[in-house]
């Protein structure tokens, strides 16, 4: 796993950064390269280019860190009758598509994405590419 230093004091965006080159998936989570310096940005767009092969799905989780040692998984909130439930967010895909995921309000120094496959990994592949934006409106592209 490598660290990609991103900088941006005045640029509207940084990237694209390939944080995981095309590789066969495993059935256990494998972390991508680390994006370092993301605290200067307001939004992340993650492009997942997934070749299904014999897999059932690919699963991704976004992790944040302030020190590169302790990692915290992105939460998912749900509201039912005024009770808010917090779970750990995981994203799941089951098609051979490149789909952008956009995350806003980045509040960390570093980000990494962990990915795994479910089912038989034969013929599968996943590439992860990240673009960071200084404005949420730019992240719509």
Q: Domains plus CATH for the chain?
A: 3-134 (2.60.120.680)
pLDDT of residue 68: 86
The residues near 97 (Cβ < 8 Å, ≥ 6 apart) are 50
Tokens, residue 76:
């998912």
With a cut of 90, say whether residue 51 has pLDDT above it.
Answer: no
Least confident among 15-24, 51-60, 102-111: 102-111
Distance CA(74)–CA(76), nearest Å, equals 7
pLDDT in tens, 100-119: 666 666 778 888 999 999 98
pTM of the model: 0.78
Angle at 73 between CA 23 and CA 131, to 5 degrees: 55
With a cut of 50, say whether residue 139 has pLDDT above it.
Answer: no
pLDDT of residue 33: 93
CA distance readout (Å), 100 to 13, 45, 103:
16, 6, 10
């Amino acid at each position: 796993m490598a660290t990609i230093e991103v900088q941006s004091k005045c640029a509207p965006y940084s990237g694209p950064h390939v944080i995981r080159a095309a590789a066969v998936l495993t059935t256990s989570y494998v972390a991508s390269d680390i994006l370092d310096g993301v605290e200067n940005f307001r939004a992340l767009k993650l492009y997942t280019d997934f070749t299904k092969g014999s897999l059932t799905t690919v699963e991704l989780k976004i992790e944040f860190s302030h020190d590169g040692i302790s990692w915290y998984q992105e939460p998912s909130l749900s509201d039912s009758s005024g009770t808010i439930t917090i779970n750990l967010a995981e994203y799941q895909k089951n098609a051979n598509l490149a789909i952008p995921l956009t995350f806003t309000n980045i509040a960390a120094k570093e980000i990494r994405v962990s990915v795994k496959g479910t089912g038989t990994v034969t013929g599968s592949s996943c590439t992860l590419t990240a673009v960071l934006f200084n404005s949420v409106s730019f992240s719509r592209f």
